[in-house]
Chain A
Amino acid sequence: MKLTELTIAAARDGLAAGDFTGVELTGAHVVAMEASRPLNAFVTETAEKARDMAVASDARRASGNVGAMEGVPIAIKDLFCTEGVKAAACSHILDGFTPPYESTVTKNLWCAGAVMLGKTNMDEFAMGSSNMSSYDGPVTNPWHADGDDAKRVPGGSSGGSAAAVAAFAAMGATGTDTGGSIRQPGAFTGVVGMKPTYGRCSRWGVIAFASSLDQAGPLTRTVRDASIMLGAMAGHDPKDSTSVDRPVPDFEASLTGDIRGLRVGVPKEYVVDGMPGEIEALWHQGVEWLKDAGAHIVDISLPHTKYALPTYYIIAPAEASSNLARYDGVRYGLRVDGESLQEMYENTRSEGFGAEVKRRLLIGTYVLSAGYYDAYYLKAQKVRSRIAQDFHNSWETVDAVLTPTAPSAAFAQGEKMDDPIAMYLNDVFTVPASLAGLPAISVPSGLSSDGLPLGLQIIGRPFDEETMFRVAGVIEQAAAFTARPQFITREA
């Protein structure tokens, strides 16, 4: 088997057994990363750094010092600050910004022995569901539909991370998820995408989009790999007051395969107009898989589900308009001069931000402005309470919730571009768990009739990633998803 085809778990065993070295493993992935260039998944390649880190990893191993991700080459979303390596959130406004510090999540990964291959493409400031809003250009999904060569989007905003993992160019990748930005690209590219409970991972050094929603998480090819990688990313950080001070469990140990007696909820509201029947069919199939494994299926209602998306499109832009106020052309990044100070700000921000970011900044500014705050922002915060309460109520009768991840498979590049609301609807099934701060994972579970990957989502109780992983592991095993993207099979 090629080294790039190993799972993180298998690589860990192979490295431990001395079947290959960390340098060899990283070398194979650097070659794969370079071969993946047509996808535009990486915006910065750090091959030299990767080799140095792999050499250091092998030396640590030789001295008996082995971390949970020792020698594993991974990709990092461009939203994470990485010391000495450009981080621009794929925005023009952060031109030339090289962070002099490391985000806590990436620091944790390096401390666990992981090796950085490079930085991945994303929607600008993580605002998007297609990766089309990146200043560095779109990412091509390694999958395309049968008999249709149209380039597909990898989803977003963590589109580059998802594409890199799907194309076997990285063993795993970090993503961030504000309303679905890990899970939806996971579903679109046939990989596992996991968002932990809000507070599980530190947000320090992660370029902020909507602070009450942003969470880092892993994209990997298996549920086990996600459990290993999350374990290395998570943990309390005094530098982020929203990171929670509680022990990080051994997530991998939760993958027992035994869900007998577990109660899994199926919310009747997770159906939208125009959703292909095959997605509903896959969902029913998922229910059958869980029943066969001994779970009790419980029909539940999450009555405020339909309001999650409009709530999100008040709260997230409002927080973004505040967070992105810092990009003013004064101390770093792009500056476009003007006749006055106001004009310099306006010129810089108008040239530096793309269309979708500007749209959200305008919405956010409007809903926070005098006279509209109560009608929009305060109202949205109250509806958010209702949505969280829906889940809270359901935990009395269920231990986890099963839904589809997205209402469609990957669409073609350029589609939905002139209709923001159609684009936003991609996140209809992922946003509710984000608003409630719950852990959720997308598991590749099948193919559409035209051969594109589809995902199922498992949502867990707050800080109960373990049950969520356990159910995800059962879905993964039953689905036995082994299909590969054309980008790989054609090359082979």
Chain B
Amino acid sequence: MSLDKETVRKIASLARLKVPDEELEAMAGELNNILEWIEQLREVDTEGVAPMTSVTVTVPALRADRVTDGGYVDLVLANAPEEVANFFVVPKVIE
């Protein structure tokens, strides 16, 4: 499975990253080197092996559905680029 320039362009777009046209070739080469190295995993027999999704085998804890935190608008907005009337002011993100 080798990445070409077009695939890199598509992946970059999915990752919301800009890879300039003149860098696509080099980036494809770098990624292919890494992917080729990763290919060795195919040697491992994983027939019937369950995928490991977590190292902690715990039953998720339940808690009462109560408000236990909050009530500090100033802190929530402390890093906002702009604010009006206790709201974040941001560029339009729904098109």
User: Do these two chains interact?
Assistant: yes
Cross-interface CB contact of B3 among A212, A366, A388, cutoff 8 Å: A366
Whether the pair B55, A341 counts as a contact (CB closer than 8 A) is: no
Task: List, in ascending order, chain B residues with CB within 8 A of A328's CB.
Answer: 16
Task: List, in ascending order, chain A residues with CB within 8 A of B95's CB.
Answer: 341
Q: Contacts A241-B60, A366-B3; is A212 near B53 (CB within 8 Å)?
A: yes
Whether the pair A379, B46 counts as a contact (CB closer than 8 A) is: yes
Please tell me if A199 contacts chain B, counting CB pairs below 8 Å.
Answer: yes
- By beta carbon, the residue of chain A nearest B91 is A344
Task: List, in ascending order, chain A residues with CB within 8 A of B78's CB.
Answer: 98, 100
Whether the pair A388, B55 counts as a contact (CB closer than 8 A) is: yes
Please tell me if A421 contacts chain B, counting CB pairs below 8 Å.
Answer: yes
Interface centre among A364, A366, A437 (most CB of B within 10 A): A366
Task: List, in ascending order, chain A residues with CB within 8 A of B58's CB.
Answer: 199, 242, 244
A330 to B88, CA, bound (A): 9
B27 to chain A, nearest CB (A): 7
The segment from A109-117, A265-273, A353-361, A444-452 that touches chain B is A353-361
Interface centre among B13, B27, B56 (most CB of A within 10 A): B56
A415 to B83, CA, bound (A): 46
**Could you count the A-B residue pairs with CB atoms below 8 Å apart for me: how many are there?**
149
A385 to B52, CA, bound (A): 5
A333 to chain B, nearest CB (A): 8
Of residues 311 through 336 on chain A, the ones whose CB sits less than 8 Å from some CB of chain B are 311, 313-314, 321, 325, 328, 330-333, 335
Of residues 213 through 253 on chain A, the ones whose CB sits less than 8 Å from some CB of chain B are 238, 241-242, 244-245
Please tell me if A363 contacts chain B, counting CB pairs below 8 Å.
Answer: yes
Please tell me if A281 contacts chain B, counting CB pairs below 8 Å.
Answer: no
A380 to chain B, nearest CB (A): 7
Task: List, in ascending order, chain B residues with CB within 8 A of A345's CB.
Answer: 16
Task: List, in ascending order, chain A residues with CB within 8 A of B86's CB.
Answer: none
A343 to chain B, nearest CB (A): 8
Whether the pair B93, A385 counts as a contact (CB closer than 8 A) is: no
Whether the pair B41, A307 counts as a contact (CB closer than 8 A) is: yes
- By beta carbon, the residue of chain A nearest B95 is A341
Please tell me if A310 contacts chain B, counting CB pairs below 8 Å.
Answer: yes
Whether the pair A365, B15 counts as a contact (CB closer than 8 A) is: yes
Whether the pair B44, A330 counts as a contact (CB closer than 8 A) is: no
Please tell me if B51 contacts chain A, counting CB pairs below 8 Å.
Answer: yes
Whether the pair A310, B37 counts as a contact (CB closer than 8 A) is: yes
Q: Contacts A242-B56, A346-B17; is A313 near B34 (CB within 8 Å)?
A: yes
Whether the pair B46, A383 counts as a contact (CB closer than 8 A) is: yes
Interface size counted on chain A using CB atoms at 8 A: 64
Whether the pair B16, A382 counts as a contact (CB closer than 8 A) is: no
Task: List, in ascending order, chain A residues with CB within 8 A of B30's CB.
Answer: 359, 420
Task: List, in ascending order, chain A residues with CB within 8 A of B66's CB.
Answer: none
Q: Contacts A198-B56, A304-B44; is A349 near B38 (CB within 8 Å)?
A: no
- By beta carbon, the residue of chain A nearest B79 is A332
B35 to chain A, nearest CB (A): 8
A363 to B18, CA, bound (A): 14
Please tell me if A108 contacts chain B, counting CB pairs below 8 Å.
Answer: no
Whether the pair B50, A341 counts as a contact (CB closer than 8 A) is: no
Cross-interface CB contact of B17 among A212, A335, A353, A378, cutoff 8 Å: A353
Please tell me if A362 contacts chain B, counting CB pairs below 8 Å.
Answer: yes
Whether the pair B81, A332 counts as a contact (CB closer than 8 A) is: yes
Cross-interface CB contact of A375 among B1, B34, B40, B49, cutoff 8 Å: B1
Task: List, in ascending order, chain B residues with CB within 8 A of A421's CB.
Answer: 33-34, 37
Please tell me if A210 contacts chain B, counting CB pairs below 8 Å.
Answer: no
Whether the pair A245, B80 counts as a contact (CB closer than 8 A) is: no
Q: Contacts A98-B78, A420-B34; is A212 near B54 (CB within 8 Å)?
A: yes
- By beta carbon, the residue of chain B nearest A357 is B17
- By beta carbon, the residue of chain B nearest A84 is B78
Whether the pair A331, B79 counts as a contact (CB closer than 8 A) is: yes
Please tell me if B84 contacts chain A, counting CB pairs below 8 Å.
Answer: no
Q: Mark B52-90, 1 if CB is under 8 A from A, else 0.
A: 111110101101000000001001101111000000101
Residues of chain B whose beta carbon lies under 8 Å from any beta carbon of chain A: 1, 3, 7-8, 11-18, 27, 30-31, 33-35, 37-38, 40-44, 46, 49-56, 58, 60-61, 63, 72, 75-76, 78-81, 88, 90-93, 95
Q: What are 24 of the A-B contact pairs (CB < 8 Å)? A: A96-B79, A97-B79, A100-B76, A100-B79, A198-B55, A244-B56, A311-B41, A330-B90, A331-B79, A331-B80, A331-B81, A332-B79, A332-B80, A346-B17, A350-B18, A364-B15, A382-B49, A382-B51, A382-B52, A383-B44, A384-B51, A386-B44, A386-B46, A420-B33
Beyond A212-B54, A331-B88, A361-B17, 4 extra complex contacts between A and B, CB < 8 Å: A314-B38, A346-B16, A366-B31, A369-B11
Residues of chain A whose beta carbon lies under 8 Å from any beta carbon of chain B: 96-98, 100-101, 198-199, 212, 238, 241-242, 244-245, 304, 306-307, 310-311, 313-314, 321, 325, 328, 330-333, 335, 341-342, 344-347, 349-350, 353, 358-359, 361-366, 369, 372, 375-376, 378-386, 388, 420-421, 436-437, 462
A-B pairs with lowest CB-CB distance, top 6: A437-B55, A381-B51, A382-B46, A100-B75, A332-B79, A350-B18
